Chain A
Amino acid sequence: MTCHELDERLDDFVDGRLGDRESTQVQAHLASCASCRERAQQLRRLLAHAAALPRGVAPPQDLWPGIRERIERRSAWAGFWVSWQPIALAAAAVVAALAAFLWNGSGPIAVRTVAMPSATPSLRPAAGTGTSDPVLAEAVRNYEQAASALLETLQRRRAVLSAEDLARVEANIQVIDRALVEVREALVKDPESPELNRMLVATHKKKVDVLRRVVHLTTAL
């Protein structure tokens, strides 16, 4: 198993969601790779920290019955529908894994908000997270932080990307930002829709995934 392959499975491994065979492969790799071992430890520490945060564990009591009802309404589809808690933890894990990734790739950076390279003002997400659910709002904020850090890193690596490449990446980020605007507008009409709330977080995650991939590939140069 390569470090890259381990990266892909680390979240599931830490969450205990891997099968026996893959879990054994991950353990074998961790035993022989100090940097991946450190990354796994960082992720565990962050998850433990996130679990200790009151808002990261469960929605406030007044919101929880409604959310639970929505989930239970779809109990026949338990495999398809998930509670918000793992989503929030996953978002926090992304930030932790990203911090480790950026540290390894280009030295330490501060995670802070930066402007989109070329997004038009009309495409910028509206103020706020777009969701009234505090757990999901936290997840969205985590993804936004991660996207900002990646954009900043990408800006620093402009020298290795042609103007055409950068334009393509930016065009696709704008496609995702347009999608986020669409989801937010739909959430205004139906703020409690579990599908829309999940789509909001999933689209933020997609943006981070795309940026992370481009940054990773530019790191090879």
Chain B
Amino acid sequence: MKPRALVLAALVSAPAWLAAQTTVDQKHPAAPDGIVSIENMSGSVKVTGWDKAEVHVKGTVGNGGELSLTGGGGKRTHVEIESDHNPMGVKSDLEVFVPQASSVEIEGFNATISVAGVTGAVTAETVNGSITQSGASKQVELQSVNGDIQVAKASGRIQAEAVNGSVVLRDASGDVEASTVNGKLQVIGGSFERVQIEAVAGPVRFEAALASRGTLSIETVSGPVELLLPASVSADFQLSSFSGRITNELGPAAEKRSKWTPQTELSFSTGSGGARISVETLSGAIDIRKRLP
């Protein structure tokens, strides 16, 4: 089939909602380190930091919706898909370029969110959809109910909370609070001052470095916990599982705390100690393994 015929065939077979979409392309001057807030209840939001003092919004807006791009004259720029009826029925896909030092606040519902190259604070929340953040944001706060969260190379204070989805941090650093109910929670690579992880049933895996006086605290109910640490790690460990097994490649074996209950505990230090690692679980297994160099 010739290219022109292909295009025609594609147009004929395109769904009705696609035909009703409007293409948008708007710009607004913005402070280099201002706040950019974005609301898009359905669809997707892709935010990219750039070196211009300008917010640029491109993409498509669903039928019945209208793009609003406003600046209050100060440091705040607001991007919103406005609709007179149910905003969930307006599926819009937006690509938003913001000054890279901006702080970005994104709110969605049935929306996937991605942020890259923003060095200011990033706050994003959605119900159904994934959230992906990459780049050296100084503060990250991400929340999704039914979606995966991925953070790469952020530093500073990182908060990531999912309910049904997974939380994966790669090559990040600083201070982390992460939680999930059912999804997996992984911290891979990077170095941290403080890590606090809470899971209910999801598995937890920590394969990263701790600062010499850093702290790692993990608590799950039934989710298994796996720590992969270099054999040379200097840390004080405090592990406890009520009914799950504890295996340890870095030190002594765990012992039962009482003959009346199945609870096992293990406290030991490696190297000269310093960092503090605490793991508590009810029925999840705890595995401490040597990380291969």
Interface segment, one of B9-17, B59-67, B214-222: B214-222
Given contacts A165-B127, A190-B263, contact A183 B221 (CB under 8 A): yes
Contact with A along B79-95 (1 / 0, CB 8 A): 00000000110000000
- A contact residues around B182 at 8 Å (CB): 171-172, 175
CA distance A139 to B141 in the complex (A): 27
Asked whether B198 is an interface residue with its Cβ less than 8 Å from the other chain, the reply is yes
Chain B residues within an 8 Å CB radius of A213: 125, 143, 145, 161, 163
Partner of B282 from the list A2, A199, A209, A214 (CB cut-off 8 Å) is: A199
Contact with B along A160-186 (1 / 0, CB 8 A): 100001001101100110110011001
Query: Distance in Å from the Cβ of A114 to the closest Cβ of chain B?
Result: 20
Question: Knowing A77-B238, A190-B258 touch, does A221 contact B200 (C-beta < 8 A)?
Answer: no
Minimum distance in angstroms from B175 CB to a CB of chain A: 12
Partner of A176, one of B109, B200, B280: B200
With a 10 A CB-CB cut-off, give which of B181, B260, B261, B280 has the most chain A CB atoms: B181
| A221 and B87 form a contact (CB under 8 A) | yes
Interface readout for A185-210 with B: 1 if CB under 8 Å, 0 if not?
01001100101100100110010011
Chain B residues closer than 8 Å to A202, beta-carbon distance: 198, 219
* Residue B150 interfacial (CB < 8 Å): no
Bound-state Cα–Cα, A183 to B238, Å = 20
Min C-beta distance of A57 to chain B, whole Å: 26
- If over half of A's interface residues share one DSSP class (helix, strand or loop), that class is named, otherwise mixed; here it is helix
Give the residues in chain A near B123, CB-CB below 8 Å: 2, 4-5
Complex: A217 Cα to B262 Cα, angstroms: 41
Instruction: Tell me which residues from 40 to 60 in chain A have a Cβ below 8 Å from any Cβ of chain B.
Output: none
Measured CB to CB, the nearest residue on chain A to B37 is: A2
In the complex, the answer to whether A165 meets B283 with C-beta atoms within 8 Å is: no
Segment 225-267 of B: residues with Cβ below 8 Å from A:
238, 240, 242-243, 258, 260-263
Contacts of B278 in A (CB 8 A): 77, 80
B173 touches A (CB below 8 Å): no
Given contacts A79-B276, A165-B128, A195-B240, are A175 and B201 in contact (CB under 8 A)? yes
In whole Å, how far is A180's beta carbon from the nearest beta carbon of chain B? 8
Give complex CA distance A82, B39 in Å: 40
Q: Chain B, 86-120, contact with A by CB distance < 8 Å: what is the 0/1 string? A: 01100000000000000001010100000000000
B242's contact among A172, A175, A193, A214, by CB below 8 Å, is which? Answer: A193
Residues of B contacting A203 with CB < 8 Å?
200, 221
Chain B neighbourhood of A199, CB < 8 A: 219, 221, 280, 282
B22 → A minimal CB distance (Å): 22
Residue pairs across A and B with Cβ atoms less than 8 A apart, 10 shown, are: A8-B141, A171-B182, A172-B163, A175-B181, A176-B181, A186-B242, A190-B258, A195-B242, A202-B198, A220-B41
Q: Ordered nearest first, which 5 A-B pairs have the shortest CB separation?
A: A179-B221, A190-B261, A80-B278, A172-B181, A186-B242
